[in-house]
Amino acid sequence: MSDYQQWLQANNTYLSDALQWLHLRLERQIAALEPISVSGKEKTCWFKSACPKSAAKDDTASKDKLIAEIAEKMTAAEAVEPPPVLLILSRQLGLSRFERDVLLLCVAMELDGKTAALCAKAQDNPYKPYPTFALALKLFDNPEWDALSASRPLRYWRLLEINQPAAEPLTTSALRADERIVNYLVEPKQLLDDRLMPFAVPLAIANADTTALAPSQLQAAQMLRHYLETHANEAEQRCLLIQLTGADTQAKLAVARHALSQLGLQIAQFPVETLPTQSSELESLLRLWGRERLLLPLALYLDAHQVDDATSQIRTILQRLLASGGGVVVLGTRDIHPELDSLMLEINKPTAIEQQTAWHDALGETFDELSARLAGQFNLDLSSIQQIASDAVTEKTEQDDLQQRVWQNCLIKTSPRLNQLAQRIEAKAFWEHLVLPKEPSVLLRQITDQVDQRGKVYNDWGFLNTMNRGLGLSVLFAGESGTGKTMAAEVIANSLNLNLYRIDLSAVVSKYIGETEKNLRRLFDAAEDGGAVLFFDEADALFGKRSEVKDSHDRYANIEVNYLLQRIEAYRGLAILATNMKSSLDQAFMRRLRFIVNFPFPNATERVEMWRKVFPAQTPVGELDYEHLAKFNLTGGSIHNIALNAAFLAAKTTPHKVTMMLIFEAMRCEFRKLDKPINEAEFRVLGVVGGKS
Q: Find the distance separating the first CA and the last CA of the chain, reported in whole Å.
A: 101
What number is the average pLDDT over the span 608-618?
93
Please check whether residue 15 is in contact with residue 84, taking contact to mean a CB–CB distance below 8 angstroms. yes
Of 3.40.50.300, 3.40.50.1970, 3.40.50.970, 3.40.718.10, which CATH number belongs to 423-599? 3.40.50.300
For residue 681, pLDDT beyond 90? no
Quick one: 428 exposed, middle or buried, by C-beta within 10 A (0-12, 13-18, 19+)?
Answer: exposed
What is the spatial distance between Cα 213 and Cα 450, in angstroms, rounded to a whole number? Answer: 29
Q: Which amino acid, residue 244?
A: L
Return the DSSP state at 29.
Answer: H
Predicted local confidence at residue 542, as pLDDT:
73
Q: Which amino acid, residue 308?
A: D
Annotated domain spans of the chain: 3-186, 194-346, 352-411, 423-599, 604-689
Out of 131-135, 295-299, 461-465, 592-596, give the one with best mean pLDDT.
131-135
Please check whether residue 671 is in contact with residue 677, taking contact to mean a CB–CB distance below 8 angstroms. yes
Lowest-pLDDT range of 33-42, 338-347, 423-432, 652-661? 33-42
User: pLDDT-derived band of residue 523, with 50, 70 and 90 as boundaries?
Assistant: confident
pLDDT in tens, 200-245: 875 544 344 556 789 999 999 999 999 999 888 877 777 888 999 9
User: pLDDT-derived band of residue 592, with 50, 70 and 90 as boundaries?
Assistant: confident
Q: How many residues does this entry show for the chain? A: 693
Coil, strand or helix: which one is 132?
coil
Q: Model's pTM, two decimal places?
A: 0.77
pLDDT in tens, 262-288: 888 888 888 888 888 888 888 888 889
For residue 450, pLDDT beyond 70? yes
The neighbour count for residue 44, using CB atoms within 10 Å, is 13
Residues pairing with 52 in the sheet: none
- We find that the CATH architecture of domain 604-689 is Orthogonal Bundle (1.10)
Q: Is the peptide bond before 165 cis (omega within 30 degrees of 0)?
A: no
Q: What are phi and psi of 565, to 5 degrees?
A: -60, -45
Q: How many CA atoms lie less than 13 Å away from 273 in the CB half-sphere?
A: 7
Predicted local confidence at residue 36, as pLDDT:
46
User: pLDDT-derived band of residue 48, with 50, 70 and 90 as boundaries?
Assistant: very low
On average, the pLDDT of the chain sits at 84
Please check whether residue 687 is in contact with residue 659, taking contact to mean a CB–CB distance below 8 angstroms. no
For residue 74, pLDDT beyond 90? yes
Predicted local confidence at residue 209, as pLDDT:
54
Predicted local confidence at residue 395, as pLDDT:
65
For residue 307, pLDDT beyond 70? no
Return the DSSP state at 331.
Answer: E
For residue 399, pLDDT beyond 50? yes
Please check whether residue 265 is in contact with residue 297, taking contact to mean a CB–CB distance below 8 angstroms. yes
For residue 608, pLDDT beyond 70? yes
Q: What angle do CA 395, 398, 402 make, to 5 degrees?
A: 60
Predicted local confidence at residue 55, as pLDDT:
54
Coil, strand or helix: which one is 642?
helix
Predicted local confidence at residue 437, as pLDDT:
93
What number is the average pLDDT over the span 403-411?
88
Taking only Cα atoms into account, the Rg of the chain, rounded to an integer number of angstroms, comes to: 39
What is the spatial distance between Cα 567 and Cα 303, in angstroms, rounded to a whole number? Answer: 23
What number is the average pLDDT over the span 347-362?
90
Protein fold of 194-346? Rossmann fold (3.40.50)
User: pLDDT-derived band of residue 19, with 50, 70 and 90 as boundaries?
Assistant: very high
Angle between helices 636-651 and 604-614 (to 10 degrees): 40
609 vs 187, more confident: 609
pLDDT in tens, 149-197: 999 999 999 999 999 887 788 899 999 999 999 999 998 877 888 888 8
Q: What angle do CA 397, 400, 406 make, to 5 degrees?
A: 80
Predicted local confidence at residue 421, as pLDDT:
78
Predicted local confidence at residue 529, as pLDDT:
80
Lowest-pLDDT range of 116-130, 352-366, 487-501? 352-366
pLDDT in tens, 429-442: 999 999 999 999 99
For residue 555, pLDDT beyond 60? no
State the maximum Cα–Cα separation within the chain, in Å, rounded to a whole number.
138
Share of the chain above pLDDT 90, in %: 43
Return the DSSP state at 692.
Answer: B
Identical fold between 194-346 and 423-599: yes
Predicted local confidence at residue 37, as pLDDT:
43
Residues pairing with 599 in the sheet: 479
What is the spatial distance between Cα 303 and Cα 275, in angstroms, rounded to a whole number? Answer: 11
What is the spatial distance between Cα 523 and Cα 416, in angstroms, rounded to a whole number? Answer: 9
Lowest-pLDDT range of 29-33, 80-84, 132-136, 297-301? 29-33
Sign of CA dihedral 355, 358, 362, 364: positive
Any residues with CB less than 8 A from the CB of 305 and at least 6 apart, and which? 247, 249, 332, 333, 334
pLDDT in tens, 234-251: 777 778 889 999 878 888
For residue 550, pLDDT beyond 70? no
Predicted local confidence at residue 49, as pLDDT:
43
Region of 624 on the Ramachandran plot (φ > 0 left; ψ -120 to 50 alpha; else beta) = beta
Region of 614 on the Ramachandran plot (φ > 0 left; ψ -120 to 50 alpha; else beta) = alpha
Nearest CA among 556, 563, 562 for reference residue 521: 563
